Structure 1
Amino acid sequence: MSRKFWVIGGISAAVIAAIVLVAVLKDDGSPQKWISKKYSRIGVDTYRSPKAPAAVAAEIDKKHKAIDRVDDLVALGALGGIFMRYPKLVVGVLPDGTGSRITVDTPSGGYGRYHSHVGGRWSSPGTNGWNSSGIASFRGGGPGSGK
């Protein structure tokens, strides 16, 4: 076999290896998957961290920037939390002893669960969550809608 064949084969193998490596290491953009890998699971869509809520919320928001965030820890203390809104999720970071409890909900589930914290600031989500501007992504339709 010629040297040219080996060079082309080597370059092809390197390109394939690079593509596979990127695919394996790539984050799919889902805060829920990242949270499930980063924190200890304690229940269905509920996780625990030994860090304070502000530190945990900062970690999550640094990795996955939220559309909006409500922080009422100063006003409510242990009864408050930090609530982050994503197009298809609501993440709540709440005080839990010396650490934090992290919940991950659907838009309607999180809005309902934390309505007393976010109801005055966030609009109700549409059937498909919120768009990147925080507006309900689908508000219904059909004959006579919008009148």
Structure 2
Amino acid sequence: MIGGVAAAVVGVIVLVAVLARDGGPRGFIADRYTRLYTDTYRSPKPPQAVAREINAKHKAIDRVDDMTALGRDGGIFLRYPKLVVGVLPDGSGSRITVDDARAGYSRYHSHVGSHWSSPGSNGWTSSGSASFRGGGPGSGK
């Protein structure tokens, strides 16, 4: 009986983990690439191939690729409504980072700042403009 209860508990935990898995770019990246740290992954493929794979599965609002100009000091940056995915050269492969909109914009500002507006309090809208949700005197009146 104890074995059956333990198996049921493990089954529920696995089911919850599967159902809670992010179906967006973050979940796709976590499932497909080797995790190095929290929200940092590695692929043996070059950045262009990795960015193509991610974008084919989850179409980005915008993309900045400064590898032609900067070579190994550049990267490919995919902008989503609430995320920034950075795909950078790492040895013969790629390092992939996944950040929320503000953290990603801040981390990669030197690469994307002249291309993207700063994200709003809720990231970017699907058209790419900064989102803003209320605030200030008289809001909601």
TM-score (norm 2): 0.80
- State the shift of 1:140 in Å: 4.9
Output the CA distance in 2 between the equivalents of 1:40 and 1:88.
22
Match of 1:54 among 48, 72, 76: 48
SS at match of 2:79: strand
Aligned residue pair count: 121
5 Å-filtered alignment, 1:1-147, equals: 29-138=23-132, 140-143=134-137
- State the shift of 1:144 in Å: 7.3
Q: 1:113 to 1:28 in 2, by over 3 A?
A: closer
Output the CA distance in 2 between the equivalents of 1:110 and 1:56.
18
Partner of 2:11: none
- State the shift of 1:123 in Å: 0.4
SS at match of 1:127: coil
- State the shift of 1:142 in Å: 1.8
CA-atom RMSD, angstroms?
Answer: 1.9
SS at match of 2:35: strand
- State the shift of 1:44 in Å: 1.1
Q: Larger Rg: 1 or 2? A: 1
Output the CA distance in 2 between the equivalents of 1:140 and 1:91.
27
Output the CA distance in 2 between the equivalents of 1:144 and 1:75.
47
Tell which deviates more after alignment, 135-144 or 111-120: 135-144
Moved over 2 A (4+): none
Contact 1:29 1:64 in 2 (8 A): no
Output the CA distance in 1 between the equivalents of 2:94 and 2:65.
14
Percent identity among equivalent residues?
73
**1:80-128 alpha-carbon deviations (Å, 9 max, x no partner):** 0000000010000000000000000010000000000000010000111
- State the shift of 1:139 in Å: 5.9
